[in-house]
Structure 1
């Protein structure tokens, strides 16, 4: 398949590298130093067992000389999705599948501006990765990638599943992929969001009684909003899963925590903000999530003001 991965960060780098094993892959990023390093030395994936391998996908900072692809995978931060796709519309033809595995929910609304819903692919992955250099990525752990089309169909996605699986990215389809997206969101909108506000690792959320009480409230509201959206989850089970994540990775630094610490914009609008938008749509109160979204935006504003005054 002809595949372009937009956004060559940790996850984009991992998928771009693996998919290049059996496909014509281009990784696309605006960071010229990263693209130059990949062109020169390859895209290095450091595996959990300590081994590493350099892969050599095509690499570019723009798509001026490129035409429609079979598959375009969006791995930029959600706040940049629309602008990235607007600038790379020449990659998207009538038969192009446009896919996202980004954190949070609601991404199909933006992708559907650039492709019909039958060609918009949404999903989740259990892989995790972290950037270790301009052209290197540490593969933290493996798992399954599950995808579905925005229109609910899955049969036509078999070539994408095969492309992923044949390259070491175990994949499958689910006609109810939205439920999987909801299932993954609970930790992000509770414990992860709080790590950003408190600037403390995941372990703090489970250890501190007041932080854990806030976490419980956020999980409860998210479960209620999910139910109003048509997806029933057991509150006690979801809370136990969130606590397990915190206790299993007590020193874990979440992406939203790191973004706030570095003065970067976060993806809160497609994570906690997704719960808020669904709550408004279905008339369910979610005041704690509204507070979290406003708090995190205020912290972003604080960082911008601090930088401007220094």
Structure 2
């Protein structure tokens, strides 16, 4: 079976490495240089003191792709661009989306693919360079079928034990719960410049996160709020030393996924005529840091 992975970031590289143990994998990158480096040097995964290198195919994403299964592992804003301008290039029987936000969901009914699945990645992954990714924490990748047959993705049960996939029936609840984690951790850490663990160990930060949580939970009319709040705190504790992806983007002067995460929340609040003062203020502050960083580049 041929697997294509669009995106040479941390998640794309990590998935490609584990899939390559059993399948023919091609990584489709933004830059020619990264594709050339992967072809020349292979893809290296660091896990603790282990370093393993995997042979993968790699090409820049500039032409039509023909694969059995395609994984879209790019930032949310790049997903929107691809689905708006290059959907004709995604020639595959099945697709799986690996994104943090929910901005891609409105596009799904317009896609021609017979089998579409959505997933949320709970692993810790850090891209070291164009050919190296550090697997900083083992988690799970939860996935659910949006359209088509579950059996199309049955190969996911055979992936390496360090990269487990777990099926869930309700894709919307899965995405919203992942969104809640990202909403509560990413913008606050990006604004405060602190690692994830500080959000629970520093009382004022935890109080701010809890206020944000209750506002967003109200917007989405979440059930089982206590369970989800405990889960968010557990994620902070388990990734205490990690710097969130949004914080790393801010520090590097890169565009963040703020619009797909907190911007999405504000859009839903406006649609439902629900006030969102905390989310709106936090969005403005983080967006200001993002724009300031981009000007310095």
Q: TM-score, normalised by structure 1?
A: 0.85
Corresponding position: 1:136 with 2:128: no
Distance in 2, Cα, partners of 1:180 & 1:240: 16
**Among residues 148, 151, 165, which one is paired with 2:157 in the alignment?**
165
Give yes or no for contact 1:9–1:131 (8 Å, CA) kept in 2: yes
Q: Matches of residues 188-207 of structure 1 in structure 2 within 5 Å? A: 188-207=182-201
Query: Unmatched 5+ residue regions in structure 2?
Result: none
RMSD, aligned α-carbons: 2.3
| Matched residue count | 295
Corresponding position: 1:221 with 2:184: no
Distance in 2, Cα, partners of 1:246 & 1:172: 21
Are the structure 2 counterparts of residues 276 and 213 from structure 1 closer, same or farther at C-alpha, using a change threshold of 3 Å?
same
Are the structure 2 counterparts of residues 245 and 174 from structure 1 closer, same or farther at C-alpha, using a change threshold of 3 Å?
closer
**Among residues 205, 214, 221, which one is paired with 1:211 in the alignment?**
205
Corresponding position: 1:61 with 2:60: yes
Distance in 2, Cα, partners of 1:262 & 1:271: 19
Tell me the equivalent position of 1:37.
Answer: 37
Give yes or no for contact 1:72–1:98 (8 Å, CA) kept in 2: yes
| Deviation at residue 99 of structure 1 after TM alignment | 1.5
| Deviation at residue 78 of structure 1 after TM alignment | 0.9
Give yes or no for contact 1:124–1:146 (8 Å, CA) kept in 2: yes
Greater strand percent: which structure? 2
Corresponding position: 1:120 with 2:116: yes
CA offset digits 1:206-261 (Å, max 9, x no partner): 2433322221111101211222xxx4122x33333333333444432111111111
Give yes or no for contact 1:161–1:173 (8 Å, CA) kept in 2: no
Tell me the equivalent position of 1:82.
Answer: 80
Corresponding position: 1:51 with 2:50: yes
Give yes or no for contact 1:102–1:124 (8 Å, CA) kept in 2: yes
Give yes or no for contact 2:4–2:70 (8 Å, CA) kept in 1: yes
Which segment drifts farther, 177-186 or 73-82? 177-186
Give yes or no for contact 1:11–1:75 (8 Å, CA) kept in 2: yes
Moved over 4 A (4+): 85-88
Query: Unmatched 5+ residue regions in structure 1?
Result: none
Give yes or no for contact 1:273–1:293 (8 Å, CA) kept in 2: yes
Give yes or no for contact 2:94–2:152 (8 Å, CA) kept in 1: no
**Among residues 267, 275, 278, which one is paired with 1:277 in the alignment?**
267
Give yes or no for contact 2:74–2:98 (8 Å, CA) kept in 1: no
Give yes or no for contact 1:20–1:55 (8 Å, CA) kept in 2: yes
Which segment drifts farther, 102-111 or 74-83? 102-111
